[in-house]
Amino acid sequence: MRISGIGVGRGVAVGEVLRMAEPVAEPADAPRTGDASSERARLLAALAETAAELSSRAALVDGAARDVLAAQALMAQDPTVIDDATARIDAGQCAERAVFDAFGGYRRMLEAVGGLMAERAADLEDVCRRAVARLMGVGVPQVPASDRPFVLVAHDLAPADTAALDLDKVLAIVTAAGSPTSHTAILAKQRRLPAIVGASGCDELADGQVVVVDAPAGVVVTDPSRAEIDGVRAADDSSAPCAPTPGALADGTAVPLLANLGDATDAAAAVALGAEGVGLLRTEFLYLDSQAAPSVSEQTDRYAEAFRPFAGRRVLVRVLDAGADKQLAFLGHVHEENPALGRRGLRALREHESVLRDQLRALVAARELTGVELGVMAPMVADADETAYFVELARSLGVGSVGITVEVPSSAVLADQLAPLVDFMSIGTNDLTQYTLAADRMLGSVAAFQDPWHPAVLRLARLVGDAGRAAGVPVGVCGEAAGDPLLAVVLLGLGATELSMSPALLGEVRAELLRHTLAEARELAALALAQRSAADARAVVTKAARTHR
C-alpha cells in the first residue's frame, strides 16, 4: 500500500511503525459539582501547570521550537481564555468543559482568519487538550517510548511533542493532519527528520508494520519489498554534504550566493560556509550604542575587520538604516505615531548628511585597506529623486558601485526608472512584505500577513527583476526570503540574479538551486504569481517542484 501526503525535508527512512496514543477525548458538557470558587481554583491550577510544563520544554530546545513552545505557554495563560472559562464556571459549567469551550471559541476565531493563523489553531488545540487532561487527571498522550528506532505515526503532533523527540529513536514522522507550514513540518525540518504530513491514510498503519517514508516523493510505502527499500536508499541524497561550490542552477546558470552580516563576527565563518561575498552588511551595529556618530577612523577599522575575509570579492554594504525600531539619539529622536512610516533609512540620513558623508568616506577607506570589491546601497529609497541623490553623493566620495535596496513598494513599482541610475539593486523582502501587505513586521497579531510568498510581493519582485534585466543591472535579494530554498528558486525565476542570506542557510539553498533549471525556476515563478494567497503559492510551488527532482 502507498499512502500519499506532503513530504517535508529530503530524507528517506525505513522502520517499524509506533503509533502515538489518541488525544484526550472531548470532555462531557456536565455541570460543575463543586462550588464556583473551588472549580475556578482547579481551572487556574491546571492552566498554570500547563504553562509551566510548556515553558520548561521551551528551555530545553532552541530556534523555532523554543519560540513555538514559549508562545504556547503564553496561550495557556491568555487572560481572554481565562476570563471566558471563569465566566462559564460561574454560569454552572464544570472546569473541564469550560476550558474546552473557551479555547474552542478562540480556535474558531483563528480558523476564520485562515492562512497561517488557522495553522496556529492546532497549537492552541494542543494547549487546550493538555489543560483538559490535567483537569481530568489523565495523562497527556506522550511520544511512545521504545528501545528500538521507530517511525512515529500520529494523527497530529503538537510542537511540544516534536520538540522533545529523541532523535536517536525517531527515524521519521508521519501525520494525518498538518500542512507544509504547520509546526510539525517546521520543527521536523529544523531537526532534519524526514516527515510526511497530511497523510490521511496513515490512520490505517499498525504498530510494528514496516514502512518506507520517502519525504521527497511524499509517500509512505507499507510492507516494502527488499528491492523497494534498496531503491529509495540508493536515491537518498539527503545526507550527502553539498560541498560549498559556487551557487548555480541545474543548467549551470551562476547564482552568486552571498552572506548577510550584522557585524564582523561571522565574516570568517561565512567564507567557510561558501559565501561568495557579502550581499548585505548591516551597519547599524556601529551606531546603536553610540551617543555620538562614530569617527571616520573608528568606522574604517570596524569595516575593515568585516571586509578582510572577503578580499578580492564583492561586499555590498548598506548605509545606516536608522529610525523605526532603531532610533538613534544623535539623529534627533522625534516621537512618531507610525515610525515604520516615518523618517527612517535614507530619509533620516538626508537630514544629517554629515553622518552619511562620514560613513561613505570610512567605507571607501576600508575598501582601500582590504581590497574588496565594494558596493554601497541606501535603505528605504522611495523614488528616482532619492536614488539620484544617493548615487551622486556616493560617487562623488569615491564609491565605485552604488545601489539601492528595494523595500518600499514605490521603488519596486518605479524600478524601470531607478534601474538605469544605479549599479545594482537588492530586494529587501522583509520590509517590502511589511509595506505591501500593510502588516507591521514587529506585530505578532498580523504575522500571518508577513509572508514573502504572497503573490503581491512576488509581483513587485518581478517588476524589479524585469527592470534589472532591461537595464543590465544585477538584482539581488537580501531579505529572509532568499534563505527559503524554494522561494529563492522562485525569486530567480522572477529575475533575481544573486541571493544573500544568513550564512547558516547557504548550504540548503545551494542544494535546492541545483535541482532546477532557469526555465523551471521561471515556470515555478509563473505558478506562484497566479495564486491568490501566500499559502496557495507555497503549496502549488512545493508540489510542482517535486517533478524537477
Per the residue annotation, which of 94, 128, 183, 454 is the catalytic one?
183
Active-site annotation holds for 478? yes
| Interacting partner of 11 out of ligand PEP, Mg ion, none (Cβ under 5 to 8 A depending on kind) | none
Strand extents, DSSP E, 6-101: 6-8, 12-19
Binding partner of residue 84 among ligand PEP, Mg ion, none, CB cut-off 5 to 8 Å per kind: none
- Residue corresponding to grid cell 518581478: 462
- Could you say whether residue 39 binds Mg ion (CB under 5 A)? no
In degrees rounded to 5, what are phi and psi of residue 240?
A: -70, 120
Using the contact rule CB under 6 A, the part of the chain among 78-86, 195-203, 408-416, 429-437 near ligand PEP is: 429-437
Cα separation, 125 vs 173, in Å, equals: 20
Nearer to ligand PEP, 127 or 475 (CB): 475
Shortest distance (Å) from residue 321 CB to ligand PEP: 6
478 binds, among ligand PEP, Mg ion, none (CB under 5 to 8 A by kind): ligand PEP
Name the minimum Å distance from CB 378 to Mg ion. Answer: 11
Contact assessment for residue 29 and residue 246, using Cβ atoms and an 8 Å cutoff: no
- Given Mg ion, ligand PEP, none, residue 479, with its beta carbon under 5 to 8 Å by kind, binds ligand PEP
Q: Find which of ligand PEP, Mg ion, none residue 520 binds, CB within 5 to 8 Å per kind.
A: none
Does residue number 498 form part of the binding site for Mg ion (CB under 5 A)? no
Residue 428 sits in the site that holds Mg ion (CB under 5 A)? yes
What span, in angstroms and rounded, lies between the C-alpha atoms of 462 and 65? Answer: 33
Q: Are 454 and 437 in contact (CB under 8 A)?
A: yes
- What distance lies between CA 112 and its chain's CA centroid? 23
Exposure of 56 by Cβ count < 10 A (0-12 exposed, 13-18 middle, 19+ buried)?
exposed
- At 203, list the grid cell: 490512520
> Closer to ligand PEP at the Cβ: 209 or 502?
502
CA-to-CA dists, residue 476 to 329, 373, 498, 546, angstroms: 32, 16, 5, 25
548 binds, among Mg ion, ligand PEP, none (CB under 5 to 8 A by kind): none
The residue count for the chain = 549
Instruction: Give 6 or 477: the residue with its C-beta nearer to ligand PEP.
Output: 477
- CA dist 410 and 111 (Å) reads 33
Residue 366 interaction partner, one of ligand PEP, Mg ion, none, beta carbon < 5-8 Å per kind? none
Interface with ligand PEP (CB under 6 A), residue from 125, 156, 407, 512: 407
We find the least distance from the C-beta atom of residue 157 to ligand PEP, in angstroms, to be 32
DSSP H helical ranges for 114-174: 115-136, 159-163
CB of 246 to ligand PEP, least distance (A): 23
Q: What's the min distance (Å) between Cβ of 442 and Mg ion?
A: 12
Contact region for Mg ion (CB under 5 A) — 143-151, 298-306, 422-430, 507-515? Answer: 422-430
**548 counts as catalytic:** no
Residue number of the CB atom closest to Mg ion: 431
C-alpha grid cell for residue 61? 530546545
Shortest Å, Cβ 331 to Mg ion: 17
- Which of 279, 339, 479, 503 lies at the binding interface for ligand PEP (CB under 6 A)? 479
- Where in 400-419 is the site for Mg ion (CB under 5 A)? 407
Q: DSSP code of 31?
A: B
Residues 6+ apart with CB under 8 A from 365: 296, 300
Number of alpha carbons in the 13 Å side-chain half-sphere of residue 295: 3
| 429 part of the interface to ligand PEP, by CB under 6 A | yes
Q: Which of 16, 138, 154, 127 is nearest to 68 (CA)?
A: 127
Whole-number Å distance between alpha carbons of 365 and 305: 12
Nearer to Mg ion, 216 or 483 (CB): 483
Q: How far is the CB of 429 from ligand PEP (least distance, A)?
A: 5
Neighbours of 245 (CB within 10 A): 11
Please answer whether residues 374 and 367 qualify as being in contact, where contact means their C-beta atoms are separated by less than 8 angstroms: yes
| Contact by Cβ (8 Å): 47, 128 | no
Of 120, 107, 216, 197, the closest CA to residue 156 belongs to 197
Distance, CA of 466 to CA of 519 (rounded, Å): 15
User: How would you classify residue 92: left for phi > 0, otherwise alpha for psi between -120 and 50, otherwise beta?
Assistant: left
Write down the residue that cell numbers 481554583 correspond to: 41
Single-letter residue type at 76: A
- Does position 430 interact with ligand PEP (CB under 6 A)? The reply is yes
Q: Which one, of 100, 110, 49, lies nearest residue 77 by Cα?
A: 49
Question: What is the pattern of x (binds ligand PEP, CB under 6 A) and - over residues 243-282?
Answer: -------------------------------------x-x
428: contact with ligand PEP by CB under 6 A: yes
d(CA 260, CA 19) in angstroms, rounded, equals 42
Residue 159 binding: pick among Mg ion, ligand PEP, none (C-beta 5-8 Å cut-off by kind):
none
By the rule CB under 6 A, 11 interacts with ligand PEP: no
- The one among 161, 214, 431, 484 contacting ligand PEP by CB under 6 A: 431
Q: Which of 94, 128, 202, 478 is catalytic?
A: 478
Applying CB under 5 A, which of residues 39, 431, 451, 498 lies at the interface with Mg ion? 431
Smallest gap from Cβ 77 to ligand PEP, in A, equals 31
Closest CB 409 distance from ligand PEP, rounded Å: 12
Site residue total, Mg ion (CB under 5 A): 3
Q: Summarize as ranges the residues that interact with Mg ion (CB under 5 A).
A: 407, 428, 431
Residues known to be catalytic: 183, 478
Q: Summarize as ranges the residues that interact with ligand PEP (CB under 6 A).
A: 280, 282, 321, 407, 428-431, 478-479
